[in-house]
């Protein structure tokens, strides 16, 4: 089947969704996805970030689809033409979804452990506005303890329900889910149970925002101060691959996560024993540095880049500024003509 996304053609198999096809093409036209997770069944369709415009349904039925479609749950048809980023309507819809996601979000990135690897940050960087139109009081939840390993910040949650699907599909006994409805819908355990399943830690990895964070890493470091390495160990937990990324600060392993690809999806799920209990570098066989895409904030501290001598341009800049100020305030030897006086008054001489 042939699909065209933003003018780029690709051959896909039947049953591929538009989002998957777009990811095969890669680049700018890949819709953002907050709730879709390719490793979890039944995910997607909820956040409405990945809306695309179907300009032509298929070769058989070329009518355009009237509504914007969620690309993560819409299957490709032969001859389908899709507009993603190049359509104004799609961009506008993504901007509005971003605005909706942010109105009740606490925007506490400065104290959030997810900052730097947060999908919502990426989304708002691309589609958000710097000003909010929301002047109402934000909706908040009472803090809740959901167990010894995972910290729940319900105020930050965007209800993608990935963590619920992890618990359904990886663990054998789900004890948490969505309670209440509407904007008071929240992730909670029923009733005040602790989440202690051996694979529950993957909830942290799949969480696109800082709603579920690692208690053993809490407030330890910003993610961009850590250096990620691929590592593995002989894990005895059945079902665990033992292949992880360890986040190091000096010789200390501060955090262990699954290995995440460019779409922030883990390659393989890992067990809690790997994640929380093995923080000694001697537990791990370090394979080498983990690569990150070039725009990632983690690259700010990248050790794979060539280290050039850093020139601090501060002094030069200060001197330049002083020179400009001097020109502005000093008395001129010759009085200016009318035109120059006008410019002088506005300070651009």
Partner 1 sequence: MSRKILLDKINVPGIKTYEVYRKEGGYASVEKAMKSMTPDEVVEEVKKSGLRGRGGAGFPAGMKWSFIDKKSGKPRHLVCNADESEPGTFKDRYLMEFIPHLLIEGMITSSFALGANLSYIYIRGEYMWVYKILERAIAEAKAAGWLGKNILGTGYDLELYVHCGAGAYICGEETALIESLEGKRGNPRIKPPFPAVSGLWANPTVVNNVETIASVPWIVNNSGDEYATIGIGRSTGTKLISASGHVKNPGVYEIELGLSVYEFMNSDEYLGGMSSDRPLKALVPGGSSVPILPADLIYKTANGEDRLMTYESLSDGGFATGSMLGSGGFIVYNDTSCIVRNTWNFSRFYHHESCGQCTPCREGTGWLEKVLWRIENGQGREEDIDLLWSIQSKIEGNTICPLGDAASWPVAAAIRHFRDEFEYHVRFPEKIKNRNHFVEEPFAQVKHLVTKQTV
In angstroms, give the least distance from the CB of 122 to partner 1: 16
In angstroms, what CA-CA distances link 196 with 181, 188, 239? 26, 14, 16
73 is a site residue for partner 1 (CB under 8 A) = yes
Q: Which of 39, 86, 90, 87 is nearest to 69 (CA)?
A: 90
Residues 30-69, mask of contacts with partner 1 (x by CB under 8 A): --------------xxxxxx-x---------------xx-
125 is a site residue for partner 1 (CB under 8 A) = no
Residue 83: partners with Cβ closer than 8 Å, 6 or more residues away = 6, 52, 53, 54, 55, 89, 90
How many residues of this chain interact with partner 1, rule: CB under 8 A?
34
Q: Give the C-alpha separation, 82 to 58, whole Å.
A: 10
Part in contact with partner 1 (CB under 8 A); list of ranges 6-14, 131-139, 219-227, 326-334: 131-139
Residues 104-123, mask of contacts with partner 1 (x by CB under 8 A): x-------------------
Long-range contacts of 87-92 (CB under 8 A, 24+ apart): 87/52, 87/53, 89/53, 90/51, 90/52, 90/53, 91/127
Part in contact with partner 1 (CB under 8 A); list of ranges 133-141, 215-223, 244-252, 264-272: 133-141
Q: Which two tokens stand for residue 76?
A: 């490709």
In angstroms, give the least distance from the CB of 59 to partner 1: 19
Part in contact with partner 1 (CB under 8 A); list of ranges 9-17, 98-106, 200-208, 330-338: 98-106
181 is a site residue for partner 1 (CB under 8 A) = yes
Residues 275-314, mask of contacts with partner 1 (x by CB under 8 A): ----------------------------------------
The dihedrals phi and psi of 328, each to the nearest 5 degrees, come to -70, -40
Element (H, E) at 74: none
In angstroms, give the least distance from the CB of 344 to partner 1: 39
Q: Give the C-alpha separation, 1 to 58, whole Å.
A: 10
Q: Which of 60, 111, 184, 303 binds partner 1 (CB under 8 A)?
A: 184
| Distance from the first to the final alpha carbon of the chain | 63
**SS3 state at 92:** helix
By CB under 8 A, name the binding residues for partner 1.
44-49, 51, 67-68, 70, 73, 93, 96-97, 99-101, 103-104, 133-134, 136, 139, 158-159, 161, 177-178, 180-185
């Amino acid at each position: 089947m042939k699909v065209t996304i933003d003018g780029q053609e690709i051959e896909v198999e039947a049953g591929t969704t538009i989002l998957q096809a777009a990811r095969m093409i890669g680049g700018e036209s890949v819709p953002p996805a907050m709730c879709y997770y390719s490793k979890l069944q039944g995910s997607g369709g909820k956040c409405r970030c990945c809306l695309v415009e179907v300009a032509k349904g298929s070769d058989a039925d070329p009518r355009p689809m009237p509504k914007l479609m969620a690309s993560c749950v819409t299957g490709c048809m032969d001859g389908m033409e899709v507009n993603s980023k190049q359509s104004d309507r799609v961009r506008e819809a993504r901007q509005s979804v971003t605005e909706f996601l942010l109105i009740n979000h606490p925007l506490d990135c400065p104290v959030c452990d997810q900052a730097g690897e947060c999908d919502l940050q990426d989304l708002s960087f691309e589609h958000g506005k710097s000003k909010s139109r929301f002047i109402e009081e934000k909706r908040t939840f009472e803090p809740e303890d959901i167990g010894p390993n995972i910290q729940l910040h319900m105020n930050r949650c965007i209800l993608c329900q990935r963590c619920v699907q992890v618990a359904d599909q990886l663990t054998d006994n789900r004890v948490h889910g969505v309670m209440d409805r509407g904007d008071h819908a929240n992730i909670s355990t029923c009733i005040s149970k602790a989440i202690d399943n051996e694979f529950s830690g993957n909830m942290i990895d799949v969480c696109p925002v800082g709603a579920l964070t690692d208690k053993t890493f809490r407030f330890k470091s910003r993610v961009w101060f850590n250096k990620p390495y691929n590592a593995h160990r002989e894990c005895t937990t059945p079902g665990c691959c033992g292949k992880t990324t360890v986040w190091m600060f000096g010789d200390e392993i501060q955090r262990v996560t699954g290995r995440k690809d460019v779409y922030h999806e883990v390659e393989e799920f890992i067990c809690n024993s790997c994640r929380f209990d093995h923080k000694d570098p001697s537990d791990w066989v370090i394979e080498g540095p983990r690569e990150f895409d070039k725009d990632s904030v983690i690259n700010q501290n990248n050790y794979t880049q060539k280290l050039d001598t850093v020139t601090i341009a501060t002094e030069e800049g200060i001197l330049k500024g002083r020179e400009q100020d001097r020109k502005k305030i000093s008395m001129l030897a010759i009085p200016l003509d009318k035109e120059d006086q006008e410019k002088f008054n506005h300070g651009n001489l």
